[in-house]
Structure 1
Amino acid sequence: MALLGNRAGKPPIFDFSNIRGDIYGGVTAGIVALPLALAFGAGVFPPGVEGGAIAGLWGAIIVGFFAALFGGTNTQISGPTGPMVVVFAGLLASLVATMDPSMTIEEQVLSAIPLLFAAVVLGGIIQILAGVFKLGKYIKLVPYPVISGFMSGIGVIIILLQFSRLFGGAPEGGTVFSAIEAIPVAISNINYSALGLAALTLATVFLWPKKLSKFLPGTLAALIVGTLAGLLLTNVPILGAIPSGIPDFVLPQLSGSTLVIVLEAAVILAVLGAIDSLLTSLVADNVTRTRHNSDQELIGQGVGNTIAGFFGALPGAGATMRTMVNIRTGGSTKISGMVHGLVLLAIVLVLSPLAAKIPHAVLAGILVKVGYDIIDFSYIRSALRGPRFDYVIMMLVLLVTVFVDLITAVGLGVVLAALAFVWRTADDQLKEASKVLPRTTTAEERKILEESDGRISMFDFGGAMSFSAAADLGHHVRQGIPEGSGAIVLDFSRLPFVDVSAARAIETIAVDAKAAGKRVYTSGISPEVMKKLKGLRIDEALDPNYAFEDRLTALRHAAEQVGSKPKGGTPAQGGDAPLPA
């Protein structure tokens, strides 16, 4: 049964044909999301600041519901994710650093709230605009080593931010460096009760049997076991009072002194959330054999994050693990993602007082497992058997992500990956152009070249030419021409277009050949390429009387010119089938 279809044949907004599976998938995904949302929320705000854990839960509720309602991936489950929370925590730390140092940490955080959630709202609006202007296909162009590097870097950041909490301590700020500084302090002042709870949590999440995960997810089991054990202890830091009910409306603000910080964070949240969500959409497509709508997914994620920002909730994105749980337990339409949000809403309204007893060490243990899962160990283990430069890019992006920032890491990685691609492509193009007998040569063409005994040289451009290949093309052609050669055939058949660099390289080859007393034949120049050559006046270096439609005709004319006529073929008369000048 479908609802809200229309006469024009558009697919319905709601499809109730799998309502039982969608309800079960949504309920299960909501249960899995509960401990993660609490952990992400509690991990962002400094100890003693109220509202952290509940901000994580409301992020899962709002982003999860509205991204499912307006998104373009039927099975997507959205909510706070590691990458988004890391950026959010870094923004909070940057804003707190601009506040009056005489204020308490709680006062500084409260003062930063309007600015903090302004970035969330702006990030959501950027995502909506990206979807409206159909930019989804471009966001997916980030190379895998770059994605692997910054995702692994985010995993490392999450572990570093939580590591001191495993020992009962806490970093004084939300930066990586403050987290690293807090580790030796926490170890030298170990709270053994907190360490015991953290060890119990880590053992549960890492060793929980897969068979039991179908009925009780490992993270939820760890949350329950750790919290129950914490009730027997009196000296472990706990979440404390958690507000229940609907969150207060937050009016975002911008100020001149922090405008750049907020805008930069908004862009990072938008781009990172888009990449995170669309990658999860691709995973869901592979499992369900469906196809998502990238631009609609960006709109859905943007709507969810915009509304979340107005209610003081953490930003979110598509979550791969929760999406897979939804699919495997029966979810197949966007109803499942909406049910996931409603389940968490019911938990917040009814059970939030119970969450006050959850120890920080338990949530830290859960987040350490999340960080571990984000690190791309499979690629790290196999990378050295693949292209070395890709591995270098991945590790460089990882380090820049951890010790500088995400936007620099992604930008640097994309530039280096693009340069590596251009370099490899240029190398292949030059090798192909330097071959005496290109792969596409026919038997008759090979015979002509062999019988010319080096007096005819042929060069096949072999496809679109990069500017880096064009820079060395003239040199490679000169090297490939044997001494005594009297004719050069330049085959353009597989060259779909030329840029200025390629056109100038062609001019250099033609001018050098003529200066050396060699005749230059061309074949297969398309009208588009000829138009470019004429526009740059490169055609003046190419004699139109020696331009032919196909390579074989050009070779026959060249053979006649150098005095080596092929057997079994009658050379065409000079100028036969020339290309239009």
Structure 2
Amino acid sequence: MNLGSFRGDLTGGITAGVVALPLALALGVASGLGPMAGMYGAIAVGFFAALFGGTPSQISGPTGPMVVVLAGLFASLSGDVGLIFTAVMLAGLLQIAFGLLGVGQYIRLVPYPVISGFMSGIGAIIIILQLSPLMGHTSPAGTLGALGYLPTALTDINFVSLILGLGTLAMVYSWPAAWGRYMPAPLAALIVGTLISTLFLSVPVLGAIPTGLPSLHLPEFDHGNLWIVAEAAVILAILGAIDSLLTSLVADNMTRTRHDSNRELIGQGVGNTVAGLIGGIAGAGATMRTVVNIRSGGSTRISGMIHALVLLAVVLGLGSLASNIPLAVLAGILVKVGVDIIDWSYLKRAHQGPRWDLLLMVLVLVLTVFVDLITAVALGVVLAALAFIKQLAALQIENLKNLPQHLDSPEEKALLSAHQDRISLFEFAGPLSFGAAADLGHHVREQSGKDSRILILNFEDSPFVDLSALRAVETIATDAKNSGKQLYFVGMRPEVRTLLENMSAGLPCDAEFETRLEALQAAVNLIDSEKRTHSISPTKLANSH
């Protein structure tokens, strides 16, 4: 690690710590466990997820989705903190297991329009939540609450706070890049704004911050509530894993790096286990704080650890210094963060790309802002997957050609051309999936001639066939048998043959061949044999006797 990266990590970690402070306090209160539980959770998850995790620039701590689950658990257990912290510890252990089992790699399979919509939605949320603090008011929890409160804030603007916040915003935007190497703009604006406020102004500030060391909470088990605790632990573990790895994707996109998903889950699991032990609420990768860290210069795991140490210093008695930070100054800094995280580069070019991708991005953005990020990303991934399957299925059906249009072998082309009304040859190009299965049998029936005597299905270029497609092949076999046609298979790979044999109690064909030429020669021989048989009439047969 060089001096430049350490300076960036130091300022990024300090700035992220200051931004995390009010969030940790507020989310602790929202969980029902109190502000110090939020602080302890931010310290434990923030430090150990950074130390052991797989996303160097990620900042972890209490997040909204996790707090919603904890608040519900608090109500279900009538405030039994021992059982609640046990659920947090179990969630951490489950996340460690997820990482060891390699579950994390699947979260990375998120399409770019979904990531873009998620990022832009987070940016919009950050801006919306800071509009009321800019005007000297406390922003209600949640995006809808903040939007609903805006008319009230607009009718009673604290112009001193507004000027201070806009001045902070202007300073962050205009801070020279050369100076940023020594002191990033957010930290400079934080210091200047706090000094001006302390010396000359009277505006809303963070206020008194509680202090104190945590106590140890060992796991507790109550048979009557065991299922409730276990269910909450599973939900917290899965939700935290998704939340963290989505934030890791955002960090990757901003830093042009690649995180280690499974290591990140292990780090988050260690952090949550320790959080439960010291009486902290569960946490996950926090997108807004991660973005603040990166924008402020943080690039390695040192920044996340420094962020946690800043919070620890506050808990140990430096809260009086942070208590004087004006809310309007924080709001100005965060508005810049929100503007920066919106994916303007994609939005400028979106009209030139596929319309479906733009619609998907906007849908994810809207759901992120007005519903929640988990719903937004889950629905976005499902819709993106369905769209991809539809496109893939159309391509698979299009490639299912009734030859001889593109046969390269003159011998094969001659054989098929001479008997094209009696032989139908179909090529399965590429992997066959369930998306194409519905139209597979219909396409073969439609494209094969009504006088066809033999159907040849060539699997040479098909490395994979799923169960739905195998069922469609069985349908083709049944149709061929019912219409008195012979069915030949060509070039089946061992794994495809084994699967079809197992699922169909044997290959549902009349013959199988290694090459297309062998199948065509056998088909021609059968047709010629049948012609010779039919050419011997009953009269000639009688005269021969």
Q: Which region of structure 1 is more displaced relative to structure 2, 423-432 or 314-323?
A: 314-323
Equivalent residue for 1:534? 501
> Displacement of 1:433 after TM fit?
0.6
Equivalent residue for 2:359? 392
Rounded to whole Å, the distance in 2 between the matches of 1:392 and 1:89 is 30
> Displacement of 1:405 after TM fit?
3.1
Query: Structure 1 residue 476 and structure 2 residue 443: aligned?
Result: yes
Equivalent residue for 1:271? 242
Rounded to whole Å, the distance in 1 between the matches of 2:234 and 2:433 is 36
Equivalent residue for 2:45? 63
Query: Structure 1 residue 166 and structure 2 residue 134: aligned?
Result: yes
Aligned mate of 1:322, from 280, 293, 310: 293
> Displacement of 1:419 after TM fit?
1.8
Evaluate the alpha carbon distance shift between residue 553 and residue 263 of structure 1 in structure 2; reply closer, same or farther with a 3 A threshold.
closer
> Displacement of 1:534 after TM fit?
3.1
Evaluate the alpha carbon distance shift between residue 269 and residue 311 of structure 1 in structure 2; reply closer, same or farther with a 3 A threshold.
same
Q: Could you say what the CA RMSD is over the residues aligned between the two structures, in angstroms?
A: 4.2
Aligned mate of 1:135, from 92, 103, 107: 103
With structure 2 as the length reference, what TM-score do the two structures score? Answer: 0.79
> Displacement of 1:28 after TM fit?
3.7
Q: Deviations over 1:488-518 (max 9, x none)?
A: 3210223344444323322332343454454
Q: Which region of structure 1 is more displaced relative to structure 2, 237-246 or 89-98?
A: 89-98
How many pairs are equivalent?
Answer: 520
Q: Deviations over 1:241-273 (max 9, x none)?
A: 224564566789999799788875664233202
> Displacement of 1:389 after TM fit?
2.8
> Displacement of 1:66 after TM fit?
1.6
Q: What amino acid sits opposite 1:272 in the alignment? A: D
Tell whether the 8 Å contact from 1:523 to 1:549 is kept in structure 2 after alignment. Answer: yes
Tell whether the 8 Å contact from 1:438 to 1:460 is kept in structure 2 after alignment. Answer: no
Query: Structure 1 residue 357 and structure 2 residue 324: aligned?
Result: yes
Aligned mate of 1:78, from 49, 59, 62: 59
Rounded to whole Å, the distance in 1 between the matches of 2:407 and 2:264 is 44
Q: For 1:231, what is the secondary structure of its paired residue?
A: helix
Q: Deviations over 1:365-388 (max 9, x none)?
A: 223333333333333443343333
Equivalent residue for 1:36? 19
**Quick check: which one's helix share is greater?**
2
> Displacement of 1:485 after TM fit?
4.0
1:487-498 residue pairs with structure 2 within 5 A? 487-498=454-465
> Displacement of 1:402 after TM fit?
2.8
Q: Which region of structure 1 is more displaced relative to structure 2, 177-186 or 391-400?
A: 391-400
Q: What amino acid sits opposite 2:473 in the alignment? A: I
Q: What amino acid sits opposite 1:459 in the alignment? A: F
Aligned mate of 2:147, from 180, 191, 203: 180
Q: Deviations over 1:434-454 (max 9, x none)?
A: 353587855554454445455
Equivalent residue for 1:570? none
Evaluate the alpha carbon distance shift between residue 92 and residue 379 of structure 1 in structure 2; reply closer, same or farther with a 3 A threshold.
farther
Query: Structure 1 residue 550 and structure 2 residue 531: aligned?
Result: no
Equivalent residue for 2:388? 421
Q: What amino acid sits opposite 1:557 in the alignment? A: A
Tell whether the 8 Å contact from 1:230 to 1:359 is kept in structure 2 after alignment. Answer: yes
Equivalent residue for 1:459? 426
With structure 1 as the length reference, what TM-score do the two structures score? Answer: 0.75
Q: Which runs of 5+ in 2 are unaligned?
A: 530-545
Q: Which region of structure 1 is more displaced relative to structure 2, 484-493 or 315-324?
A: 315-324
> Displacement of 1:549 after TM fit?
0.6
Evaluate the alpha carbon distance shift between residue 227 and residue 86 of structure 1 in structure 2; reply closer, same or farther with a 3 A threshold.
same
Tell whether the 8 Å contact from 2:241 to 2:284 is kept in structure 1 after alignment. Answer: no
Evaluate the alpha carbon distance shift between residue 471 and residue 406 of structure 1 in structure 2; reply closer, same or farther with a 3 A threshold.
same
Equivalent residue for 1:210? 177
Q: Deviations over 1:104-126 (max 9, x none)?
A: xxxxxxx7988987776555344
Evaluate the alpha carbon distance shift between residue 127 and residue 45 of structure 1 in structure 2; reply closer, same or farther with a 3 A threshold.
closer
Evaluate the alpha carbon distance shift between residue 437 and residue 219 of structure 1 in structure 2; reply closer, same or farther with a 3 A threshold.
farther
Rounded to whole Å, the distance in 2 between the matches of 1:31 and 1:414 is 35
Q: Deviations over 1:460-479 (max 9, x none)?
A: 11232212311111111122
Equivalent residue for 2:196? 229
Equivalent residue for 1:157? 125
Equivalent residue for 1:300? 267
Evaluate the alpha carbon distance shift between residue 474 and residue 373 of structure 1 in structure 2; reply closer, same or farther with a 3 A threshold.
same
Equivalent residue for 1:145? 113
